[in-house]
Amino acid sequence: MVPFSDTLMDKYNKLNDTFDVEPIDSQIEKSDIEKEIEKYKSSAEDIRRDYEYTRGNLYSIIEKGQEAINGILELAQESEMPRAYEVAGQLIKNVSDATDKLMDLQKKLKDINKEEEKKGPTTVNNALFVGSTADLQKMLKNVSKDINT
């Protein structure tokens, strides 16, 4: 419920006096359009919040992965064990996958924003003939002659 502003309330009371009616509740309900706008704003805020949360998590994963890679590479060089090198390779792959996911996240956000910007067709092609049916038949006959020759 949204209260009337003071100026609207004054006009509202003047109308009540003019028509000699009892005033009704001075609260009006939000229209369906206002409710839809609030839902849209809410979903846009949710998308933005989710994007920022996911982005932060991916950054954290990448940073921790870098630290783990540095540690396992030191261990692999000191021990010269093939398994340590294998684990290092897997960690490198996982960190690169996380960076790819970060880029995909950017692309998805851009796609969502583009969908929001779409408002309808940008070009409308309507062919309109102004004339009588006889004129149209003559024109079509001339076109078919030109095609046949």
Q: Encode pLDDT of 39-65 as tens digits.
A: 767 777 888 889 999 999 999 999 999
Side-chain half-sphere of 87: how many Cα atoms within 13 Å?
16
* 27: β partners: 3
Q: Residue 20 carries which DSSP code? A: T
State the Cα–Cα distance between residues 21 and 15, nearest whole angstrom: 8
State the Cα–Cα distance between residues 103 and 107, nearest whole angstrom: 6
Q: Encode pLDDT of 88-121 as tens digits.
A: 999 999 999 999 999 999 998 888 888 766 666 6
